[in-house]
Amino acid sequence: MAQQIIASFAVYFVIWWITLFAVLPFGLRTQAEDEHVILGTVESAPTKFRAWRVVLITTLVSALLYATWYVASHYFGLSIDSIPRFVPNYN
């Protein structure tokens, strides 16, 4: 039972981490776009970084993806082995 909880948490963590990098650019406004570059920073730095918004959106999207994975694996029996593979014929 403990192994299932740890494995589920690990899958959710990987999904969350990948989703984070997909969500980061949403709504990002750089200092160059606002024409308000603070001395000592690059123009591509965000004007206002809304970390809590990014974390909330990442958590919601990754929860939806995790739920999809859970249903597909536990109720429909899909796994990595269900993906068809191309095996080249060298003969």
Domain range summary for the chain, segments of one domain joined by +: 2-79
What pTM was estimated for this model as a whole?
0.75
**Which structure tokens are listed for 64?**
């939806």
Amino acid found at 70: Y
Look at residue 87 in the predicted model and tell me its pLDDT: 77
pLDDT of residue 27: 86
Residue 16: is its pLDDT beyond 70? yes
Mean pLDDT of the chain: 88
Spatial CA neighbour of 13 closest among 72, 58, 53: 58
**What confidence score (pLDDT) does residue 71 get?**
93
Mean pLDDT confidence for 34-60? 87
Cβ atoms within 10 Å of 62's Cβ, excluding its own: 21
Q: Looking at per-residue confidence, does 42 or 54 come out higher?
A: 54
